[in-house]
Chains A and B, each alone.
Chain A
């Protein structure tokens, strides 16, 4: 923490968010320590009728981890520029834009503070054969409708995952990547989701993953809940649009519901093209109406699961409903 206090906030985000803080003395055995990165937390506020509540101020929120109040580092609403929270409680607008070393799947120009990094994971396995072209159309529409500030990456998967388009703000590139998909092979949804999460985790700022899949997985080696745990720990909400009907595959459906709700995302069951378009519209609304805060956790001896709570301090806010991930496990590192 000493190190943190000596560096500027922007530098911290770059330097710590993705790095492993392993401590190793020369010629000594590496020791794993619990490592606490900056926490990125997205949440939505809705009223009793499910309408998004906008315009709330940073001071109206209280973030707790295991009951310990946290000091906000940045605060952003929708795709508006993020605010940096100063020590005196004031806020100032952050200028985005960073340059950094390029990593696989990562566009180094991705903006850490403005917009959302949207990873679309599109099922191109044999299960999607029938509805493939309609799904492509729906995703293409979604990409076109994204906020200008958002970046989008298109990944496809069957037995393996493929990075069709890496994170970009160029909609045409994303759509061209989408249209280059090839259909066929087994469905390893959770393997693919894990790899997408690993890529997304390397990107600074706010990010979400939208899975478009028919549902049944017949080739993954990792369990949905292990993948969910990674998403939860990395603070990446998962959205799933399943083209399967709920009652056709109840196990898939319940897994989808669980992994999305536990990460702060949502599951949609949309068999028809129209329903798929509606699902994408709903996700877009979610992205545009959610709040994102960052903070460096206060000292906490708990090295296991840390429970997050978001509270609205005003009386009127007590009637609102908040949706966010329930917590995370701090990473282990050397």
Chain B
């Protein structure tokens, strides 16, 4: 109906010859669907009007509408008829680009002909590469179909044969071998044993398939049927005919059969109906990098390549390492180093070779020419001798120099210039290398330590060109000398006394980064640096000192301050003092309730600050006031008053009018009341929040506060409000005893949870009516009675936080009615979890009372996402292997909210993504543009992928290139190019320029970063969404795997661009992005953690589905409007 109205309005206001202001206004307000319909209508009425056709085609182009090609085609025809050569040339060029992006070479060639016919020059469609050879020494055969082998080898069947061996090599390296129980040698894991057994069975089946490579069973009684059943480990039960059933006779063989996806059910059906059974059993042909002979020694050459490959983990590691290099660099290295020599350093190549690059015989080194001599000195060969340099680099110090090279190659900006200063480079290398170099950083199968990479990536350089040392040098000297929890390092403690410059601190941090133990100073340094990063004025030395000394206990709380950088030093210190005072409360239950209530209120303050609902100017005062309420809690009554006061402060700070229900208002605020234009989405969010609160049987704030007021009134002689008291009592009756039906054995199996059980039990025992009766009108006793409601107030406030971060599906919150109440703010007795990041405890057996969250609320969003991820239902045959990455994806979809986002900002992203694709098409047609694009891309993509994309573009395959560039890279390259190029030709650049001129504040780098970035609590110590435009991190172990996940910034950019395409409103992003993210996760079929292309494939599948549904809906709507 909206479209219909738009058509009527626009047709009236819009003449074919110009793009009226009304239309612009409609587009700006987000009614792109209306504009589309209107422009289509104008074209239908004036089919030969060049301007009308141009307006329509360019509109479709700007919105990535696939109809753009057809529209440009019509425009091209009209321009040819009109004899307008200049415009014909521009349109033909644009059409050729769109043809290439659609993968339509034939149309692109025709469009280029039209371009040339209009005197266009400088564009050529490169010849498509000849199809790769299917035979020859570079190919091996693996028996059986690819799908079966991929299943057994735990490789995604989405991978083509080209990538098969590299993926297999990775699995063999990471999962194929384990330490032997009996000696020092490695032994095969069950995974690898099964792969070997599968190959053995597949060879038997291959033999049975004969030369035709097809398993053919003519009928149930044939000899082949018996042979086949023997090989696959089954037998027939019952005679041939309708009664025949296949059953296991050899469990090992049968397992391989079913696990590899052999079509057993089809075979059974064929035998039962006595029909022929055929199964294509052609072997899988896979290319081997450099040919099989390169990898095998003389005596191995007679055997099957795949068997040798699987049996040699060091060979696999070398294959994996070389597969990460770009082809030219690998070729140079191979020329310079014989295979056995490279193999000796395969582990270093695997971890750090991905950033090696040789161009024109020279090694590309971080820091460029100015650092070349320093690198030459450190490695022992000059970068001008590319292969020799990398050979030396690989061999140096068991990988320490290569690790530094890798970390610095991934950097950009002033920090890179700073760290690659020759003197500093040598100094920091000496620190990271240490005196004892073994074991080197590449010895494990996963990178064990992300500290150095974190330090180099996030180091901040001040305007004076020196490293930013938060709090100043003295704080750090003092920290190392008068360490709070024991020495960080004996030598550093001694040397710290003489520190005089920032580099001294950095040297210490580099030195600690080589250690396998927790690097607390680095964590403190990064956390406080990140606090300073967004502040107008850095934190005072005393504040930094206090933050540093309390990091062990309070460190996970520091990210809170990044959501409101205007928080003063005084309030930061007040937060720490308040938290430490709470930790000293002796009564365990009161302490848990106080910590929970305070954290829940601060959590709400944090959410409101992040969403702009709480003005920056009042953020400091409101936080300080909230904290003030908890400075001295002695009893439950104090706590209830403090909690209530906190709610009042929050309501006031968010501009709440008097008389509004506090409960409803908080739900409204959490559900995006800031943008009243999208009532429908807001309503959906409100309903979702209420569902969670109801499922948790939360007592509303209104009931609690009314009761408190009523208790006070009773003291003044007012009559008892039975209905109010009963409402409260009725809610309490809904709280069930935790796991009431447990047996003693089960109860004894619990390792923790004592205090949360007490918390719930005490709530169930509350009898307000009896308390009132006992008070017998005593005003003081009645006032004390409100302390009974403090635990309920805690749960309600905590529940608001849970509801806000509830992941898509929220199965736990809907199923376990005690999940919120069960939040354990104390943790296992003897430990202190109160201020630690939220953790998931109690999953699975024997603590089968259900998992719960433990610790503070500072990591609540992540913990909820982590807990919920196993409820996602993968669409592929293998379970999700992305356990470390999925929570971050959910987090990125749930923490940012888009209530303040504008249609112009969404369109800005859409235009840049579209322009990024255009750059690819341009690069496919123009070699000069190609060089510029690849240069820009190399700042984000690893050399190997950059070269692969170069190859695709050189073959005119813009579509293939686009499928290999991650959305964040595409956006970054487009944004960099737009900033560099000054021209505004074409529909995309002109629109970008127009937006920049019309709404500069909405499309500044900072605003776009805040709107469409992702929260990075581990990498940037902040939940504030931010677009860092980073290279994706490699696979890391432990907590570091979160850093890798946080370096992935593509999802939101992809979704926003998609939403712009399908004309969704900004408010709808709040519902669509979590839902789309869920669908993407369920469709990921990755072979390993760094398989980003698998994630891109999944994004594209969901994107195409959304587009298809949107198009069919739009087509129907447009048809209706035109009728």
Chain A interfacial positions (CB closer than 8 Å to B): 22, 27, 29-30, 32, 130, 132-134, 136-137, 140-141, 144, 158-163, 172, 175-176, 178-188, 190-191, 194-195, 198, 216-227, 230, 250-252, 254-255, 258, 304, 332, 334
* Residue from the list B264, B734, B840 in contact with A221, Cβ < 8 A: B840
B249-288 residues at the A interface, CB under 8 angstroms:
251, 254-255, 258-259, 261, 263-266, 268-269
A30 in contact with B687 (CB, 8 Å)? yes
Q: Compute how far the CA of A27 lies from the CA of B749 in the bound complex, rounded to whole angstroms.
A: 49
Please determine whether B251 and A133 come into contact, CB atoms closer than 8 angstroms: yes
Alpha-carbon distance between A227 and B694 when the two chains are bound, in angstroms = 18
The 9 closest A-B pairs by CB, nearest first: A223-B850, A218-B844, A176-B265, A221-B851, A133-B254, A133-B248, A179-B264, A219-B844, A160-B879
Q: CB within 8 A of A258: which of B734, B741, B880? A: B741
Residues of B within 8 A of A195 (CB): 811, 871, 873
Further pairs besides A130-B251, A225-B741, A332-B694: 12, Cβ < 8 Å: A29-B664, A29-B686, A140-B245, A160-B879, A182-B259, A185-B879, A191-B870, A217-B845, A221-B851, A222-B815, A226-B850, A334-B691
B872 touches A160 (CB 8 A): yes
Partner of A144 from the list B245, B879, B880 (CB cut-off 8 Å) is B245
Contact B258 A160 (CB under 8 A): no
CB-contact partner of B878 in A179, A182, A220, under 8 A: A182
Tell me which residues across on chain A come within 8 A of B734, comparing CB atoms. 304
Tell me the minimal C-beta distance from B399 to chain A in angstroms: 33
CA distance A219 to B560 in the complex (A): 31
Chain A residue nearest to B694 in the complex (CB):
A32
A-contacting residues, B873-907, CB 8 Å: 873-874, 877-880
Instruction: Say whether A161 contacts B844, CB under 8 Å.
Output: no
Cβ contacts under 8 Å, A162 to chain B:
873-874, 877, 879
Cβ A220 vs Cβ B844 within 8 A? yes
Q: Give the residue of A134, A181, A198 whose beta carbon is less than 8 angstroms from that of B251.
A: A134
Interface string of B740-773 (1 = CB under 8 A from A): 1111011001000000000000000000000000
Whose C-beta in chain A lies nearest to the C-beta of B876?
A: A162
B849, CB-defined interface residue at 8 Å: yes
By beta carbon, the residue of chain A nearest B740 is: A225
CB neighbours (8 Å) of A216 from chain B are 844-845
A251 to B739, CA, bound (A): 14
Which residues in B have their C-beta under 8 angstroms from that of A161? 873
Whether the Cβ atoms of A221 and B867 lie closer than 8 Å is: yes
Q: Which size bracket describes the interface of B in this complex?
A: 35 or more
Across-interface contacts of B248 in A (CB, < 8 A): 133-134, 136-137
Chain B residues at the A interface, C-beta cutoff of 8 Å: 151, 233, 245-248, 251, 254-255, 258-259, 261, 263-266, 268-269, 664, 679, 686-687, 690-691, 694-695, 733-734, 739-743, 745-746, 749, 811-812, 815-817, 840, 843-846, 848-851, 867-868, 870-874, 877-880
A304 contacts B733, C-beta separation under 8 Å: yes
Contact assessment for B879 and A184 in the assembled complex, using a CB-CB cutoff below 8 Å: yes
Closest chain A residue, CB of each to CB of B260? A182
How far in angstroms is the closest Cβ of chain A from B679?
8
Q: Which residues of A contact B686 (CB under 8 A)?
A: 29-30
Which residue of chain A has the shortest Cβ distance to B881 in the bound complex? A185
> In the bound complex, what is the Cα–Cα distance between A252 and B743 (angstroms)?
11
* Residue pair A160, B255 in contact (C-beta under 8 Å): no
Which residues of B are found within 8 Å of A159, using beta-carbon distances? 870, 879-880
The answer to whether A160 and B873 have CB atoms under 8 Å apart is yes
**CB within 8 A of A172: which of B269, B742, B850, B878?**
B269
State in angstroms the CA–CA spacing of A163 and B264 once bound together.
19
Contacts of A252 in B (CB 8 A): 845
* Cross-interface CB contact of B870 among A136, A175, A188, cutoff 8 Å: A188
Most interface-central of B263, B265, B734 (chain A CB within 10 A):
B265
Min Cβ gap B27→A in Å is: 29
Contacts of A224 in B (CB 8 A): 848
Q: How far is the CB of A118 from chain B (nearest CB, A)?
A: 18
Is B873 within 8 A of A188, CB to CB?
A: no
* Structural contact, A194 and B844, CB atoms closer than 8 A: no
B932 to chain A, nearest CB (A): 45
| Contact partners of B269 in chain A: CB under 8 A | 172
How far in angstroms is the closest Cβ of chain B from A49?
30
Query: In the complex, what distance in Å separates the CA atom of A252 from the CA atom of B265?
Result: 33
- What's the minimum C-beta distance from B101 to chain A, rounded to whole angstroms? 33
Chain B's nearest CB lies how many Å from the CB of A145? 11
From B258, B811, B873, B877, contact of A136 by CB (8 A): B258
Whether A220 lies near B261 (C-beta < 8 A) is: no
In the assembled complex, the Cα of A198 lies from the Cα of B815 at a distance in Å of: 11
Q: How far is the CB of A176 from chain B (nearest CB, A)?
A: 4
- Cβ-closest chain A residue relative to B738: A223
Closest to B695 in A: A332
- Residues of B contacting A254 with CB < 8 Å? 743, 745-746
Q: State how many angstroms separate the Cβ of A141 from the closest Cβ of chain B.
A: 7
Contact A160 B265 (CB under 8 A): no
Q: B residues within 8 A CB of A176?
A: 263, 265-266
Distance of A225 Cα from B687 Cα, bound (Å)? 27
Question: What separation, in Å, do the CA atoms of A181 and B247 have in the docked complex?
Answer: 16
Q: Output the nearest chain B residue to A223 by Cβ-Cβ distance.
A: B850
Q: Is the CB of A172 within 8 A of B871?
A: no
Q: Given contacts A30-B687, A160-B874, is CB(A223)–CB(B265) below 8 Å?
A: no
User: Is A190 a contact of B848 with CB atoms below 8 Å?
Assistant: yes
Chain B: which residue is nearest A250 at the CB level?
Answer: B745
Residues of A within 8 A of B871 (CB): 160, 191, 194-195
CB pair B745 A251 closer than 8 Å: yes
B residues in contact with A30, CB < 8 Å? 686-687, 690
B749 x A158 contact (CB < 8 A): no
Q: Roughly how many angstroms separate A179 CA and B844 CA in the complex, as a whole number? A: 27
Contact (Cβ within 8 A) A180 B251: no
CB neighbours (8 Å) of B849 from chain A are 223
A133 to B259, CA, bound (A): 9
A180 shortest CB reach to chain B, Å: 6
Contacts of B746 in A (CB 8 A): 251, 254-255
**A-side contacts of B266, CB under 8 Å:** 176
Which chain A residue lies CB-closest to B248?
A133
Least CB distance from B601 to A in Å reads 23
Measured CB to CB, the nearest residue on chain B to A29 is B664
Nearest Cβ in chain A — how far from B380, in angstroms? Answer: 46
Contact of B811 among A140, A144, A172, A194 (CB under 8 A): A194
List of A residues within 8 angstroms of B254 by Cβ: 133
Closest chain B residue, CB of each to CB of A131: B251
Which B residue's beta carbon lies closest to that of A334?
Answer: B687
Question: Which chain A residues border B880 with CB–CB below 8 Å?
Answer: 159-160
Cα distance, A136 to B257, chains bound together (Å): 12
**Contact call A179/B879, Cβ cutoff below 8 A:** no
Q: Which residue of B lies closest to A227 (CB)?
A: B815
- Docked pose: A226 CA to B737 CA in angstroms: 12
A252 to B844, CA, bound (A): 11
What CA separation (Å) do A191 and B749 show in the bound complex? 20
B residues in contact with A178, CB < 8 Å = 265
Interface-central residue, B266, B812, B817, by most chain A CB under 10 Å? B812
Instruction: State A145–B676 Cα separation when bound (angstroms).
Output: 58
> Which residues of A sit under 8 angstroms from B268, Cβ to Cβ?
175
Q: Which residue of A lies closest to B873 (CB)?
A: A161
A27: chain B residues at CB < 8 Å are: 679
The smallest beta-carbon distance between A169 and chain B, in angstroms, is: 16
Verify A186–B844 contact, CB threshold 8 A.
yes
Task: Please list 21 pairs of residues, one from A and one from B, whose beta carbons are closer than 8 Å in the complex, sorted by A's number.
Answer: A22-B687, A133-B233, A137-B246, A141-B245, A159-B879, A160-B870, A160-B880, A182-B261, A184-B879, A218-B843, A218-B844, A219-B843, A220-B850, A220-B870, A221-B868, A222-B815, A222-B816, A225-B739, A251-B845, A251-B846, A304-B734
Pairwise interchain contact B850-A158, C-beta atoms closer than 8 A: no
Q: Which of A140, A194, A250, A255 contacts B848 (CB 8 A)?
A: A255
List of B residues within 8 angstroms of A158 by Cβ: 879
The closest CB in chain B to the CB of A160 belongs to B879
Given contacts A251-B749, A304-B733, contact A179 B873 (CB under 8 A): no
Most A-side CB within 10 Å, residue of B151, B268, B694, B870 = B870
